């Protein structure tokens, strides 16, 4: 059992790629600041990499960091598992944070479990919510379980630090302060060439045609109520007229009607568009958890008792097969009038 009294403060591993801090890290800093105000602790950020400087630290401070630690080493220029695991593990051993947060990205999902194994603590992966029990100091880490059918809140009462990876987009990125006084500490990496067990010969970037629904301002989302795959075209037609992107619930992903990259919900992606159309989506809690923070939610469902209407700003009761073509045609007409 760990002597938990030795551990204090919340650490956010700040993920950067080619010197650009990833959004999920800024989201986590904002959340860490919120949590730190409950237990009167500080938010530490750690940025390992190469040519990391004060500019990166200032960005962390804007979103709530109290102190930023930076490790610069050419061996950290490209992410490799062993080098990053070593520097993060050494940091935790030295500064003993009470909680450590990683983004649930490809890097975070690779790095966090290796770090947790080396420091002999637990890891709650792919969290969608975080809170703190003030009395015990336990981090309440909530994640979907059993295929998203329930939400499980997990604690790590006997070991420190408490560690979790957090899904991008579920936390709100909030600027909390602008300050000229920032606390930065530069740390040695203690890496040698013997720590590098993989040599990266070349990095080849490919241009993906797939767009990220998390970046969309308008989403046209379909559910089981579409009835058949061919009706996806109704959503596409509306998306074209309104400048939106197609997305959907788990039901139509499981049916093979759209790819999993476009799934919204606990087992998909969390989105916050300006406008979210929920077409033929009943409103199960698993789906609502992924889109309830949208600015404007418009629901179309023939069941007047559908739970989706409880979270929607505008509800239309009716058959989407009739409503969507009418709505699309009306938008097309308005666009033509505006152009004329």
Helix (H) or strand (E) holding 248: strand 245-248
If you search the block for the tokens 């070349």, which residue do you land on?
A: 202
pLDDT tens per residue, range 166-222: 988 888 888 887 666 788 999 999 888 888 888 787 777 766 556 789 889 999 999
Output the pLDDT for position 20.
92
User: Would the pTM of this model clear 0.85, i.e. be above it?
Assistant: no
d(CA 248, CA 228) in angstroms, rounded, equals 13
- What CA–CA distances, in Å, run from 155 to 2, 6, 142, 194? 14, 18, 9, 37
Output the pLDDT for position 335.
76
User: With contact defined as beta carbons under 8 Å apart, do 248 and 258 qualify?
Assistant: yes
- Using DSSP's 3-state secondary structure scheme, residue 309 falls into helix
Output the pLDDT for position 100.
97
| Structural domains of the chain in order of their starting residue, each with its CATH number | 4-195 (3.40.50.620), 213-339 (3.40.50.1220)
pLDDT tens per residue, range 123-164: 999 898 999 998 888 999 998 876 666 788 999 999 999 999
**Beta-bridge mates of residue 108:** none
CA 258 to chain centre: 21
User: With contact defined as beta carbons under 8 Å apart, do 134 and 39 qualify?
Assistant: yes
What does the block give as tokens for 321?
A: 């097969």
d(CA 282, CA 87) in angstroms, rounded, equals 47
- What CA–CA distances, in Å, run from 252 to 8, 225, 247, 248, 292? 45, 9, 10, 7, 19
Residues of the chain with pLDDT under 70: 1, 146-149, 178-180, 206-210, 340
Output the pLDDT for position 208.
56
Output the pLDDT for position 201.
78
């Amino acid at each position: 059992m760990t002597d938990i009294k030795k551990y204090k403060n919340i650490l956010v591993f700040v993920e950067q790629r080619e010197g650009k801090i990833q959004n999920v890290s800024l989201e986590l800093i904002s959340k860490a600041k919120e949590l730190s105000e409950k237990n009167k602790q500080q938010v530490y950020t750690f940025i390992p990499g190469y040519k990391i400087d004060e500019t990166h630290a200032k960005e962390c401070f804007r979103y709530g960091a109290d102190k930023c630690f930076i490790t610069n080493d050419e061996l950290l220029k490209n992410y490799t598992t062993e080098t990053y695991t070593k520097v993060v593990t050494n940091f935790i051993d030295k500064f003993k944070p009470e909680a450590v947060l990683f983004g649930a990205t490809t890097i975070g999902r690779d790095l966090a479990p290796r770090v947790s194994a080396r420091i002999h603590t637990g890891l709650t992966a792919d969290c969608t919510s975080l809170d703190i029990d003030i009395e015990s100091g336990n981090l309440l880490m909530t994640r979907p379980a059993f295929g998203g059918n329930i939400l499980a809140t997990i604690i790590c009462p006997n070991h420190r630090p408490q560690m979790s990876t957090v899904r991008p987009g579920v936390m709100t990125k909030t600027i909390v302060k602008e300050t000229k006084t920032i606390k930065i500490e530069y740390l040695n990496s203690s890496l040698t060439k013997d720590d590098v067990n993989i040599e990266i010969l070349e990095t080849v970037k490919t241009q993906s045609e797939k767009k990220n629904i998390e970046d969309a301002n308008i989403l046209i989302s379909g559910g089981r109520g579409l009835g058949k795959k061919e009706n996806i075209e109704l959503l596409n037609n509306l998306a074209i007229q309104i400048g939106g992107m197609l997305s959907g619930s788990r039901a139509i992903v499981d049916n093979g009607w759209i790819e999993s990259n476009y799934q919204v919900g606990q087992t998909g992606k969390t989105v916050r568009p300006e406008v979210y159309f929920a077409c033929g989506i009943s409103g199960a809690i698993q789906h609502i958890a992924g889109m309830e923070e949208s600015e404007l939610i418009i629901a179309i469902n023939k069941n007047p008792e559908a739970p989706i209407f409880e979270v929607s700003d505008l509800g239309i009761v009716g058959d989407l097969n009739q409503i969507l073509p009418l709505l699309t045609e009306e938008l097309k007409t308005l666009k033509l009038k505006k152009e004329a």
